[in-house]
């Protein structure tokens, strides 16, 4: 096929250099392009210029026959649309057969979150006289107090914490960087851990590290390690809900919006590139506003009850 591999390589270099895409994002693009390449070979299509909307619809039919989710199909269409857009830019003789193909409407389940009473139980389970307890409390306070991702928490370095202004320097998805403020509870938990618990843990390791959160052997914690720590907290608190780092992120966003924060601010704090990614939390806050209204307005319930 007309140097499909060569064009893919050029596209990957474009993603790396111009778009500064992460290795994970690039791998997703490559997987989608490989799937399309295999489809074209199976259909006996040997030239990219032979791909028209009829060919694209046949490709989509095969994807749906594979029982792929709408989200997976949508991603593949988006990947291939970007690929052809890149080819068009490099060679004007090509037209983008994916440009008029509509993305299937994705499902947006409302993210789960924790109520304040459930959070209080979690905050009370750690033994703050022990190094690991101080570490676990700091992790919990940082995840809930800032809304950062578990990968961002795991990669925090000592130099990323500025106690003077109360901010964390966070390296997010797609190598995007941002500053995130933290409050008094997170500050106290971090200072206690850094001044006491972390120093004890660091002594157990042969090599020093500037990673903030360490395991019991004094080495940098992994994201899996952080998830296990949260699971242990849940067990100690005897909670019946499943708690994972992303649920704390959901909880942060939900509580911020419920208390009156505007959507743009929450978007910046979460590091979302698009506002639509943040808008999913408005479903929760609408329910919250309705509950408050039904409980508070003098003519909300009586009217319904007396109809």
pLDDT mean across residues, the chain: 84
53-72: pLDDT as tens digits: 889 889 988 888 888 888 78
pLDDT in tens, 157-211: 999 999 999 999 998 877 788 999 999 999 999 999 999 999 999 999 988 999 9
For β-strands 167-171 and 177-181, DSSP reports them as antiparallel
Domains (range + CATH), the chain = 4-90 (1.10.150.130), 116-292 (1.10.443.10)
- Residue 125 CA to residue 119 CA, distance in Å, equals 10
One DSSP character per residue, 96-124 reads -TTTTPPPPPPP-PPPP---HHHHHHHHT
Name the DSSP letter for residue 222.
Answer: P
Residues facing residue 162 across a β-bridge: 167
- For residues 228 and 69, give the distance between their C-alpha atoms in angstroms, rounded to a whole number: 29
129: its two tokens:
């006289």
Q: Which helix (H) or strand (E) holds 162?
A: strand 161-162
Active-site position among 173, 219, 227, 288: 173
Query: At residue 1, does pLDDT exceed 80?
Result: no
305 — pLDDT class (breaks 50, 70, 90): very low
Q: What secondary structure letter does DSSP report for 239?
A: -
Instruction: State the catalytic residue, choosing from 85, 219, 232, 246.
Output: 246
**What does the pLDDT read at residue 209?**
95
108 counts as catalytic: no
84, 144, 193, 281: the active-site residue: 281
Cβ atoms within 10 A of the Cβ of 34, count? 12
- Is 272 considered catalytic here? yes
> Is 173 a known active-site residue?
yes
Q: Is 148 helix (H, G, I), strand (E, B) or coil?
A: coil
37 is catalytic: no
pLDDT at 191: 97
Quick check: is 7 catalytic? Answer: no
The active-site residue out of 76, 149, 247, 255 is: 149
Kindly indicate the confidence band of residue 307, based on its pLDDT and cuts at 50, 70 and 90: very low
d(CA 148, CA 169): 11
Phi, then psi, of 144 in degrees rounded to 5: -80, -35
94 or 12, greater pLDDT: 12
- Residue 224 pLDDT: 93
Give catalytic status of residue 281 as yes or no: yes
More confident residue, 302 or 38: 38
- pLDDT of residue 109 exceeding 80: no
């Amino acid at each position: 096929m007309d140097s499909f591999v060569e064009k893919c390589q050029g596209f990957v270099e474009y993603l790396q250099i111009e778009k500064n895409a992460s290795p994970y994002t690039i791998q997703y693009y490559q997987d989608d392009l490989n799937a399309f390449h295999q489809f074209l070979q199976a259909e006996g299509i040997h030239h990219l210029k032979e791909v028209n909307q009829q060919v694209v619809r046949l490709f989509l039919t095969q994807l749906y026959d594979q029982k792929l989710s709408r989200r997976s199909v949508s991603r593949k269409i988006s990947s291939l649309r970007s690929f052809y857009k890149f080819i068009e830019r490099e060679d004007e003789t090509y037209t983008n057969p994916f440009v008029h193909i509509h993305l299937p409407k994705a499902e947006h389940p409302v993210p789960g979150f924790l109520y304040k009473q459930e959070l209080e139980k979690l905050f009370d389970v750690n033994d703050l006289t022990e190094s690991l307890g101080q570490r676990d409390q700091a992790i919990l306070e940082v995840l809930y107090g800032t809304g950062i991702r578990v990968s961002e928490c795991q990669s925090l370095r000592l130099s990323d914490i500025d106690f003077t202004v109360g901010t964390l320097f966070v390296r997010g998805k797609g190598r995007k960087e941002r500053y995130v403020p933290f409050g008094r509870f997170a500050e106290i938990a971090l200072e206690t851990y850094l001044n006491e618990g972390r120093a004890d843990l660091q002594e157990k390791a042969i090599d020093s590290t500037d990673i903030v959160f360490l395991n019991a052997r004094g080495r940098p914690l992994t994201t899996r390690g952080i998830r296990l720590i949260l699971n242990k907290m849940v067990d100690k608190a005897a909670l019946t809900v499943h708690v994972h780092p992303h649920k704390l992120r959901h909880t942060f966003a939900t509580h911020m919006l419920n208390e009156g924060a505007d959507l743009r601010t929450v978007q910046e704090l979460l590091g979302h590139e698009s506002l639509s990614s943040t808008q999913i939390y408005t479903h929760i806050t609408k329910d919250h506003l309705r509950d408050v209204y039904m409980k508070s307005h003098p003519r909300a319930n009586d009217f319904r009850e007396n109809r």
